[in-house]
């Protein structure tokens, strides 16, 4: 009878331990077509959600990509065969691998993304827009998702929006390819950035110049290491205003005319490069008083400190004792060889006899010298010849121009990812370019919001039983009570049986 009772207790415990497996289900991995080389198939923890369908834009758009097709590389997304400019031939290759696959953890059913697969390599891939975006009287809205599946240590996940060019060849896309806007996260060490850079055409020289937006408010460092899907949105308005969102929260906003470095418009006046400071120009606001005289009793040779003549050597001072003595408890090591190591000498320690009063040669302590005044300097007075700080005169800037509408940037023809990263498995998904923020918001509601909910729920992975049990408690702390009961009840039953077992 007792054996049957113990068996029942153990079965109850095992049943309780299986609770975490009901928190989530794991679906089989899905094979996805790769490009060039076939990377190892990812071990994917998948949430079975038959209701999820990749988003489709509800409104006007110029580009939308949800990575549904297995053959989208190279049918639409084209890997660059160019080489990075100014580097060693071997290092300059864009040989990083790309793949279309599901996320490594907490992936929704039927959801895939473009994954940067290689660490410490150059990557370049791009796709043409469905139609070019022309900056006219409608806002520019660009949005996409990034998931750093491993903590990013150094590298970017930003997007380059390539300018419309007659000879644009995406097979030759590289770091010097002309772009209109660069937008997205970047990190190296402790320096985390969220780039918004656009190319502005100098109306005097015709040369395009990079303009960098001011830094966003707050820290974005957590998104590089929390392994969650994050949504990046850029909105630029014809009114010259811009907004940057991370996960639908504004982190940066301002004006194209006021919040970029270097500024869009050069200054109207500049310093005359030919102007020279006149000889004898006096920039000293104060000068020594020529009538000031050093007092007769001023002793510049007096020391700052002198011996205290009133000090008396303490009673019991041990003049003949050494401050340090050999350690009487030290022992010569057994393997000490005097022919090699020399004569053994024990380590020195503080003389304990010196602790109470002191020992060694006694000297008078020092005290501040009341006669000390230091080096004498004459007092300072206002300079009657002071002319102020000299600066070159201002002249009209020959390169001045005023662009009141920098929103009218170069048209955008393609979207590209040209990246170096020390971390692999960076997942990109759900790109959209539109002229309506509402369209982008609906696109995010149909995709990113579902992913965020899925990740927040903490679906258990395909790891060990212990891993799954611990992960399940992230959102359900009450499971710890059940785990404790699972251990205590069987152990208590066994102990009780052993204690009452007939001898």
The stretch 53-72 carries a mean pLDDT of 92
* pLDDT for res 85: 77
pLDDT band at 190 (very low <50, low <70, confident <90, very high): confident
* pLDDT for res 197: 98
Are 129 and 227 within 8 A, CB to CB? no
pLDDT band at 135 (very low <50, low <70, confident <90, very high): very high
Are 129 and 180 within 8 A, CB to CB? no
**Residue-level length of the chain:** 503
Q: How far apart are the first and last CA of the chain?
A: 16
Distance CA 343, CA 336 (A): 9
The stretch 202-227 carries a mean pLDDT of 92
Any idea which residue has 């020992």 for tokens? 359
- DSSP calls for 443-457: HHHTTHHHHHHHHHT
Residue 82 has pLDDT above 60, yes or no: yes
The stretch 178-184 carries a mean pLDDT of 97
Residue in 112, 125, 128 with CA at minimum distance from that of residue 163: 128
Residue 17 has pLDDT above 70, yes or no: no
Are 255 and 214 within 8 A, CB to CB? no
Give the torsion through C-alpha atoms of 164, 169, 170, 176, to 10 deg: -70
With 0-12 / 13-18 / 19 or more C-beta atoms within 10 angstroms meaning exposed / middle / buried, residue 350 is exposed
* pLDDT for res 503: 52
Residue in 149, 83, 89 with CA at minimum distance from that of residue 116: 149
pLDDT band at 66 (very low <50, low <70, confident <90, very high): very high
Residue 467 has pLDDT above 50, yes or no: no
pTM for the whole thing?
0.67
| pLDDT tens by residue, 356-412 | 889 989 999 999 999 899 999 999 999 999 999 999 999 999 999 999 999 999 999
Beta bridge mates, 143 = 233, 432
The stretch 123-142 carries a mean pLDDT of 97
| pLDDT tens by residue, 413-444 | 999 999 999 999 999 999 999 999 999 999 99
Q: Which of 27-41, 48-62, 304-318 has the highest mean pLDDT?
A: 304-318
Question: What's the angle, vertex CA 19, arms to CA 13 and CA 22, rounded to 5?
Answer: 155
With 0-12 / 13-18 / 19 or more C-beta atoms within 10 angstroms meaning exposed / middle / buried, residue 143 is buried
Residue 19 has pLDDT above 80, yes or no: no
The stretch 438-466 carries a mean pLDDT of 77
pLDDT band at 501 (very low <50, low <70, confident <90, very high): low
Distance, CA of 483 to chain centre: 38
* pLDDT for res 22: 41
Residue 338 has pLDDT above 70, yes or no: yes
Taking each helix axis from N to C terminus, what angle separates 479-500 and 465-472, rounded to the nearest 10 degrees? 130
CA distances from 128 to 58, 125, 154, 232, 440 (A): 20, 11, 28, 20, 19
* pLDDT for res 493: 67
């Amino acid at each position: 009878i007792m054996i049957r009772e113990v068996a029942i207790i153990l079965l109850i415990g095992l049943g309780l331990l299986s609770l975490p497996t009901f928190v989530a289900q794991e679906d089989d991995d899905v094979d996805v077509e790769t490009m060039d080389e076939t990377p190892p198939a990812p071990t994917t923890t998948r949430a079975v959600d038959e209701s999820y369908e990749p988003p489709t834009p509800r409104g006007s758009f110029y580009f939308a990509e949800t990575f549904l097709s297995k053959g989208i590389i190279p049918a639409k997304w084209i890997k660059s065969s160019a080489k990075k400019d100014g580097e060693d031939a071997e290092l300059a290759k864009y040989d990083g691998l790309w793949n279309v696959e599901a996320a490594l953890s907490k992936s929704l059913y039927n959801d895939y993304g473009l994954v940067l697969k290689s660490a410490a390599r150059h990557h370049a891939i791009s796709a043409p827009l469905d139609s070019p975006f022309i900056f006219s009287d409608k806002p520019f809205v660009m949005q996409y998702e990034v998931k750093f599946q491993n903590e990013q240590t150094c590298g970017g996940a930003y997007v380059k929006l390539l300018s419309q060019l007659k000879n644009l060849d995406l097979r030759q896309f590289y770091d010097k390819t002309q772009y209109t806007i660069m937008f997205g996260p970047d990190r190296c060490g402790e320096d985390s950035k969220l780039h918004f850079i656009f190319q502005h055409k100098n109306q005097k020289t015709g040369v395009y110049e990079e303009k960098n937006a001011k830094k966003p408010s707050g820290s974005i460092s957590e998104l590089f290491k929390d392994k969650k899907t994050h949504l990046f949105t850029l909105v630029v308005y014809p009114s010259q205003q811009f907004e940057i969102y991370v996960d639908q929260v504004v982190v940066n906003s301002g004006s194209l005319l006021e919040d970029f470095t270097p500024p869009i418009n050069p200054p109207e006046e500049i310093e005359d490069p030919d102007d020279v400071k006149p000889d004898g120009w006096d920039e000293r606001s104060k000068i020594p008083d020529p009538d000031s005289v050093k007092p007769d009793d001023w002793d510049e040779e007096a020391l700052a400190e002198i011996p205290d003549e009133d000090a008396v050597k303490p009673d019991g001072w041990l003049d003949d004792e050494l401050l340090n003595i050999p350690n009487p408890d030290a022992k010569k090591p057994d393997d000490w060889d005097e022919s090699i190591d020399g004569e053994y000498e024990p380590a020195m320690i503080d003389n304990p006899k010196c602790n109470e009063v002191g020992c060694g040669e006694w000297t008078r302590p020092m005290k501040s010298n009341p006669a000390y005044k230091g080096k004498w300097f004459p007092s300072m007075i206002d300079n009657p010849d002071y002319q102020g700080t000299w600066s070159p005169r201002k002249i009209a800037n020959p390169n001045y121009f005023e662009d009141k509408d920098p929103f009218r940037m170069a048209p955008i023809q393609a979207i590209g990812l040209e990246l170096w990263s020390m971390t692999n498995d960076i997942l990109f998904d759900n790109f959209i370019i539109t002229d309506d923020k509402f369209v982008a918001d609906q696109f995010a509601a149909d995709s990113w919001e579902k992913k965020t909910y899925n990740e927040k729920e903490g679906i258990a992975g395909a790891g060990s039983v212990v891993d799954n049990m611990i992960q399940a408690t992230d959102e359900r702390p009450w499971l710890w009570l059940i785990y404790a009961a699972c251990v205590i009840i069987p152990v208590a039953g066994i102990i009780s049986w052993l204690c009452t077992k007939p001898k």
